[in-house]
Structure 1
Amino acid sequence: MTGELPVLLINIDRAAARRAEIERQALELNIPLQRIAGVDGSLVPQDQWDNVDLDLFRRRNGRPMMAGEYGCYQSHLRAFRHLLASDAPAALVIEDDVNLSIDLVQRARIILEAVPDDCVVKLVNHRTVSFRHRFTSKAGDRIGWSGFGPQGSSACYLVTRKAAERLLRGMARQSLPLDSALERSWDHGVAVYTVERDLVDFGHLRNETLIASRADYRQLKLRGLKKVPTHLFRISEAFRRALHTIAL
């Protein structure tokens, strides 16, 4: 795949320190950024949340949806729409808590030459288990699938134009956090690959969370029998992911 590769930076207005840091890095590395003004979920009353299934989210995740999760999800959908409004065949989507690398854009372009034109390629993850190799780029990056998940993090990934169009349809209604929803190829129909070794790492401002702390998550978690639907969903997801990986 040839052509322009825009780098889309998702950033909300109140994350000014993060924006300043990543723009400093981009300037030093000569990486042009296109800022996507993220949705700050804390500023959107819940009764104005668009295209969400709060009951299904609660059953699937074992807790209520948080404002930051709503904002993150909508922000990435904005990035997809931005790509479709341009002439670019693909985009590199990044969040504002990664550390850029000098060869990131070049390696990303080369990866796009090795994969189909209707896919997502995650370039950083929290975990990759039982990696199954499928492609190798000319730069030596190995690309494939993780047999177990969710892998966590959508802080840096490639998305092609065709994939963005399909994801906007398949992920229109939110019932999971963005990280989990994006990986569900068996649901939205878009192949989601991952690199075996991360192309970037996370910056020092990552710990200043804009969604919720671990204590917030613990406080919201359902207990006892109320958590049964969540356990059943997770077992089902693990089974569907395994079948999907085997079939590829």
Structure 2
Amino acid sequence: MDLPVLLINIDRAIERRQLIEGQAERLGIRLERVQGVDGSKVPPDQWVDADRDLFLKRNGRPLMTGEYGCYKSHLKAFQQLVDSGAPAALIIEDDVALSEDLMLRAQSVAATVRDGCVVKLVNHRTLAFRHLFTTPMGDRIGLSRFGPQGSAACYLLTRGAAQNLLEPLRVQSLPFDMALERVWHHHVPVYTAEESLLEFGDLRSQTFIASRADYKQQKQKGLAKIPTHIFRVKEALLRAFQTLS
């Protein structure tokens, strides 16, 4: 399968783009850039399809400009795949480090799963993994019973999944990686590789979303976080039920 690789990159992330394009050239990987939405350039009063009140309740902190841009950028990648007519694509963020076997392994994943699904190929955690498929290249694909897993830095997206996700994910009330995993909401199968196919690159620390300190500073405390705790417990139960069914 000729698997397009869609690289999400905002205009001011020049160093990241140059680094990953250099890697791609050495490895013979052709990248198609998705011009990312730079949240810092969009005033909050001009945000579109962002439920800021619900985001605050669900996350215990306000929606940040970088998170808004990241979310919109991934939806642009979805639309770009749909418009291209390709059966599937590899979606990557510009902070990953490409590897020699990436395309063979990703194509092997694409040949193993059915249309209409997503396969996360990079995660921060995979807890209580439920194995479903093994690719010809030996990668184990399945479900993580606990989450969120974190990261949407690299995933296989089929065209059918992109079409079916655009409307359910249109309005933002969570960070993109969390929204993507909510199968009980959008009803599109989302699988995960047991082991990540890629590592993160040298420039990952130069974040364009928010630092750990930014997240900590914005967090609500005390009784104000009760709606967030209730939401997270409910999500954990829905996820467990989904992965067992």
Pairwise TM-score range, normalised by the shorter structure: over 0.9
Say which of 209, 225, 243 aligns to 1:227.
225
* Amino acid in the other structure paired with 1:220: Q
Partners in 2 of 1:104 and 1:132 — Cα distance? 23
Which residue does 1:178 correspond to in 2?
A: 176
- Map of 1:163-202 to 2, 5 A cutoff? 163-202=161-200
How far, CA to CA, are the matches of 1:117 and 1:79 in structure 2?
17
TM-superposition CA deviations, 1:70-124 (whole Å, max 9, x none): 0000000000000011121000000000000111111111111111111000111
Which of 191, 202, 205 does residue 203 from structure 2 map onto?
205
Aligned to 2:155: 157
Measure how far apart 1:203 and its partner are: 0.5
Does 1:14 find its partner at 2:3?
no
Letter in 2 for 1:208: Q
Distance 1:191 1:76 in 2: 17
Q: What secondary structure is seen at the aligned counterpart in 2 of 1:39?
A: coil
1:34-55 CA-partner distances (Å, limit 9, x unpaired): 0000000000011111101100
User: Are 1:124 and 2:83 an aligned pair?
Assistant: no
Question: Equivalents in 2 of 1:135, 1:162: separation in Å?
Answer: 20
Look up the equivalent residue of 2:173 and give its one-letter code: S
Which residue of the other structure, out of 112, 116, 131, is the alignment partner of 2:110? Answer: 112
| Residues 125-146 of structure 1: per-residue CA shift (max 9 Å, x gap) | 0011000000111111110000
Instruction: Please give the alpha-carbon distance, in whole angstroms, between the structure 2 residues aligned to 1:137 and 1:171.
Output: 29
Structure 2 counterpart of 1:165, one-letter code: Q
Taking the aligned partners of 2:85 and 2:44, their CA distance within structure 1 comes to 35
What corresponds to 1:137 in structure 2? 135
8 A Cα contact 1:118 1:160, kept in partner: yes
Normalised to the residue count of structure 2, the TM-score between the two structures is: 0.99
Contact 1:84 1:165 in 2 (8 A): yes
Whole-Å separation in 1 of the counterparts to 2:176 and 2:63: 11
1:36 maps to what in 2?
Answer: 34
Mapped to 1, the partners of 2:103 and 2:76 lie a distance apart of 21
Counterpart of 2:238 in structure 1 is: 240
Point out where structure 1 has 5 or more consecutive residues left out of the alignment. Answer: none
Identity %: 62
Q: Which amino acid aligns with 1:194?
A: T
Aligned residues: 245
Contact 1:170 1:189 in 2 (8 A): no
**Unpaired runs of 5+ in structure 2?**
none
Question: Any conservation in 2 of the 1:4–1:89 contact (CA below 8 Å)?
Answer: no
AA at the equivalent of 1:150: P
Distance 1:164 1:42 in 2: 26
Q: Structure 1 residue 204: deviation in Å?
A: 1.0
Q: Which SS does the other structure have where 2:244 is aligned?
A: helix
Q: Distance in 2 between matches of 1:197 and 1:242?
A: 20
Q: Aligned-pair RMSD on alpha carbons? A: 0.6
DSSP 3-state at the match of 1:93:
strand
Q: What TM-score results when the alignment is normalised by the length of structure 1? A: 0.98
Deviation at 1:4, TM superposition (A): 2.6
Q: Could you tell me how far apart the structure 2 residues matched to 1:171 and 1:113 are?
A: 26
Q: 2:184, 2:199 → 1: CA distance?
A: 28
Tell me the distance in 2 between the aligned counterparts of 1:33 and 1:113: 20
Q: Partners of 1:35 and 1:80 in 2: how far apart?
A: 13
